Amino acid sequence: MSGSHGKLEVTIIEARHLKDQDIVGKNDAFVEVYLDKDYKQRTKTIKNNNDPQWNETFTFNLSRNHDDLHLHVYDDDAVGKDSIGEAKIDLRKHDFSKGAFDEWIKLPALLGLRSKGEIHVKIEHKE
């Protein structure tokens, strides 16, 4: 048994209404995507835009213990990166045999305050 469960193709399409609590104005946003923390992939940074479009696709090898896809949106700044928001997608809840997952995911704010924006993600499962 190889332990492999195919590949996950994740396309980070775009985001909208991104909000960083600390910053007035526009974000320089990028997204980190991962199934486990040891192997993170990230989009390029899009400068000065709260509605960035990336259209970047990442491939992950799936194994049995990969239940959640993590998305973490950051604002890239001179001293590092500020978290704008994060979300996770429970891969078990989607039936990939019926087609791709293609949805807008809210980035919840702490304590249930307003959302920090949304991110449009498409996920396909390949054998």
Structural domains in the chain, CATH included, are: 4-126 (2.60.40.150)
102: tokens are: 């293609």
Taking the C-alpha atoms of residue 127 and residue 118, their distance in angstroms, rounded to an integer, is 29
Taking the C-alpha atoms of residue 94 and residue 89, their distance in angstroms, rounded to an integer, is 9
Check residue 92 and report its DSSP letter. Answer: G
* High-pLDDT (> 70) share of the chain, %: 90
Task: Determine how many CB atoms are found less than 10 A away from the CB of residue 111.
Answer: 5
- Predicted confidence at residue 2, as pLDDT, reads 43
- Predicted confidence at residue 95, as pLDDT, reads 92
* Whether the predicted pLDDT of 96 surpasses 50: yes
Q: Quick one: CA torsion of 18, 19, 20, 22, rounded to 10 degrees?
A: 150
First-last CA distance in the chain = 15
Q: How far is CA 22 from the centre of its chain?
A: 21
- Predicted confidence at residue 21, as pLDDT, reads 61
110 versus 112: which is more confidently predicted? 110
Provide the pLDDT confidence category of residue 22 given band limits of 50, 70 and 90: low
- Identify whether the C-beta of residue 83 lies closer than 8 Å to the C-beta of residue 31: no
34-88 residue pLDDT tens: 998 889 999 999 999 999 999 999 999 998 888 999 999 999 987 888 889 999 9
CA geometry: angle 73, 74, 80, nearest 5 deg: 160
